[in-house]
Chains A and B, each alone.
Chain A
Amino acid sequence: EIVLTQSPGTLSLSPGERATLSCRASQRIGVSYLAWYQQKPGQAPRLLIYGTSNRATGIPDRFSGSGSGTDFTLTISRLEPEDFAVYYCQQYDGSLGTFGQGTKVEIK
């Protein structure tokens, strides 16, 4: 099973700042098979990025994804108030995929 490790656990930033979230895999993942989600309290997750760098429908362009191999990054260029949430990476390279443990982006 591929284990995804996200860092940091919590990111404390102010609106307007840039957020950089990391997702590291225990083994190599194809770039087509890495996604990112946003989850707010009491809500289901929302798909942000698929295939490492492709924004899902309706996702603003301040969200971007990059990476390859075992290291992947989600960048939020300028944090808006609605972006403070928990973010999960997910790999789906194979049968049943796995999620990272999440990074919480909180208001500083």
Chain B
Amino acid sequence: EVQLVESGGGLVPPGGSLRLSCAASGFTFSTYAMNWVRQAPGKGLEWVSYISSTSTTIYYADSLKGRLTISRDNAKNSLFLQIHSLRADDTAVYYCARPYFGDYVSPFDYWGLGTLVTVSS
């Protein structure tokens, strides 16, 4: 069974940094690209970042470019997202999501439950 479990969220002061993790199981992680998607409270979905299976291709949302670092450890079946210079409007649930078509930019067939990041003093 495919499982994605995010962790690392919490309360962070404005200007702070956070590293989110996603532990994957139930599939061959090293053959799939992976993604981060966020959802502010009561709002819609925002695709935040994409990383290919071998980390050779990385995309970031323009709204967050310069403040994000996505990475992965295929040996440990883990995905990471580092966010710097956090602002109040970064408050959201952050989901990791697996693409339907392996190592391509494609829709997401499996999602984690998400981890809540709250930016507040």
Contact = CB atoms under 8 A, between A and B. Distances in A.
A81 to B, nearest CB: 23
B113 interface: yes
A92 B45 contact: no
Instruction: Sort chain A's interface into a size bin.
Output: 20 to 34
B47 A97 contact: yes
A50 B101 CA distance: 11
A99 B44 contact: yes
B107 A99 contact: no
Contacts of A57: 109
Interface in A6-62: 35, 37, 39, 44-45, 47, 50, 56-57
A75 interface: no
Given A44-B95, A45-B111, A88-B44, A96 B61 contact: yes
Contacts of A44: 95, 111-114
Interface in B82-118: 95, 100, 105-109, 111-114
B35 to A, nearest CB: 9
22 contacts: A1-B62, A39-B45, A44-B111, A44-B113, A45-B108, A47-B100, A47-B107, A47-B109, A56-B100, A56-B107, A92-B106, A95-B50, A95-B59, A96-B47, A96-B60, A96-B105, A98-B47, A99-B44, A100-B44, A101-B44, A102-B44, A102-B45
Interface of B: 44-47, 49-50, 59-62, 95, 100, 105-109, 111-114
